[in-house]
Amino acid sequence: MFEPVRDSWLNIALIFMAIFISILVLAAIHSSPPQFKRILTVVVVFFAGLYFPVEFYIPRHNFLTPFRDSVSNLVQVLAAFTFGLGVVNLVLIHGRHVLRRTTNLPFSLAFFAGFLLMTVVGFIQRYSPQLWAKKAGSGQVVFWEGMHKLLFEGMLLPLTSTVFSLLAFFIVSAAYRAFRIRTLEAGLLMAAAIIVMLANVPVGTWLTSWLPAEGWLKWLRLENAAIWLTTQINAPTQRAILFGLWVGALGAALRIWLSLERTFAAGGR
């Protein structure tokens, strides 16, 4: 809808002007009476929620279609704003720990160190990779690119993988405590769990690999039994749950759109 500005300085000026106007508008809304804020929220939510279904259900290329890209851009900008909110929130929480020197101080310092290091290195690597760095020879990488690789692949990847892999220990511990066969239903669940768990690893397939691959006996092979359980028992159940879930989601969306959801429209009152 709008042509991008070619002049980079004018572009930067426009960005700052947009940020300044956004802050002014947000400050004005913030200082307005609660009743006005409520009406504004209801009106904005109603029209924003109206756009997509109306544009979609009226046959293609209607009067709303030319605005589709602009609305899509707006959604992207709003999504990008949530990142900013996340950063502000983290900085506020950890900044409080640092200023008050609480027991969480070391963790908050670790957060600031990691956050600043990753941000600075990421920006330099992206926008000015030659900054203060020697020219890389053949088979070498520029300092900032190497640094980014070290932080991303050498630190972030193993750290998050380590945290995620802790789940294995908790799941085994929880399964050991929870899977007690006290009823018939628990017994059936256990039988299905054993088949699926074993079929999901080569040990399971090896255990029943002596059974014929064709004929009715093939269904006794663990991998086939697991597929049968997943596609014939699990899939219809999941489908039923999904139907219920999405009908519920539609109802919830309608309530939000029409501002009938009290926690949302009345600010939790």
Partner 1 sequence: MEQIAQWLAKFQSIDRRIIYLCVSIAIALPFIVTIRLPVIPTLPTQKFYEAVEKVPKGKVVLIAADFDTGTEGENGPQVQAVLEHLMRRRIPFVIIGLAIQGPQLVQNYADRLAKKYGYRYGQDYVNLGYITGGQPALERFCRSIWQMIPKDAKGTPLSEIPLMRKVRSANDIGLVAEFTGAGLLGYYIQTFWGQFKVPLAQGCTGIIGPEQFPYLATGQLSGLMVGLKGAAEYEALLNLRREGYRRMMPQSMGHITALLLIFLGNLGMWLTYRRRQIRRL
Q: How many CB atoms lie within 10 A of CB 151?
A: 17
Give CA–CA dist 183/151, Å, rounded: 51
Q: Which is nearer to partner 1, 11 or 209 (CB)?
A: 209
Give CA–CA dist 166/171, Å, rounded: 9
The residue ranges that bind partner 1 (CB under 8 A) are 52, 68-69, 71-72, 75-76, 79-80, 126, 152-153, 156-157, 159-161, 163-165, 168-169, 171-173, 175-177, 179-181, 190, 194, 197-198, 200-206, 209, 223, 227, 230-231, 234-236, 238-239, 242
Q: Which is nearer to partner 1, 36 or 67 (CB)?
A: 67
- Reading the block at residue 66, the tokens are 């030319």
Give me the least distance between CB of 252 and partner 1, in Å please.
16
Q: Which is nearer to partner 1, 133 or 192 (CB)?
A: 192
Q: Which is nearer to partner 1, 24 or 186 (CB)?
A: 186
Q: Helix 68-100 crosses helix 105-127 at what angle (to 10 degrees)?
A: 140
Give me the least distance between CB of 103 and partner 1, in Å please.
25
Contact 71, 51 (CB under 8 A): yes
Give CA–CA dist 35/245, Å, rounded: 34
Q: Which is nearer to partner 1, 212 or 236 (CB)?
A: 236
Place of tokens 């500005």: 5
Q: Which long-range contacts (CB under 8 A, 24 or more apart) does 89-96 make?
A: 90/115
Give me the least distance between CB of 179 and partner 1, in Å please.
5
Q: How many CB atoms lie within 10 A of CB 251?
A: 10
